[in-house]
Amino acid sequence: MDNHTVLRDFIYHWSDFPGLSISRHGLCSFKADIEYRYLGHLVTETTQVTIPRTGMEDGQVNLSESGILNYDDFHLGFSPTRQTYRMDGQKRLVVSGFSKKWGGEYEVLITPAAN
């Protein structure tokens, strides 16, 4: 399944979840619980997620800096052309890729969080 289809299905599944909003311009935003897995490490955090669904940024997944998550140490912006998206059995969005920064693979699990 291609990344755009995964995002469409993810947003559709969670569309009635309180706090998930989609603007008239197609910007999906919500607070989310994040599990960031890389090189044997697990980091958990809650942050804001934005997913543009129109224009040149369509399909990008962006995490805001929050707590331990920062641009210097983590990848917080993901692209459908560079990462792989899928949904797991719990309907979480899973973003996976390879990091030159860390020299290994990573996975980011995204679940909309109650406000």
pTM for this prediction? 0.94
DSSP class per residue in 34-93: EEEEETTEEEEEEEEEEEE-SSTTTT-EEEPPBTTB-TTTS--EE-TTTSEEEE-TT--E
**pLDDT tens-digit profile of 73-84?**
999 999 999 999
Q: What phi, psi does 9 have (nearest 5°)? A: -65, -40
Angle in degrees, CA 26, 85, 80, rounded to 5: 60
**pLDDT tens-digit profile of 8-25?**
999 999 999 999 999 998
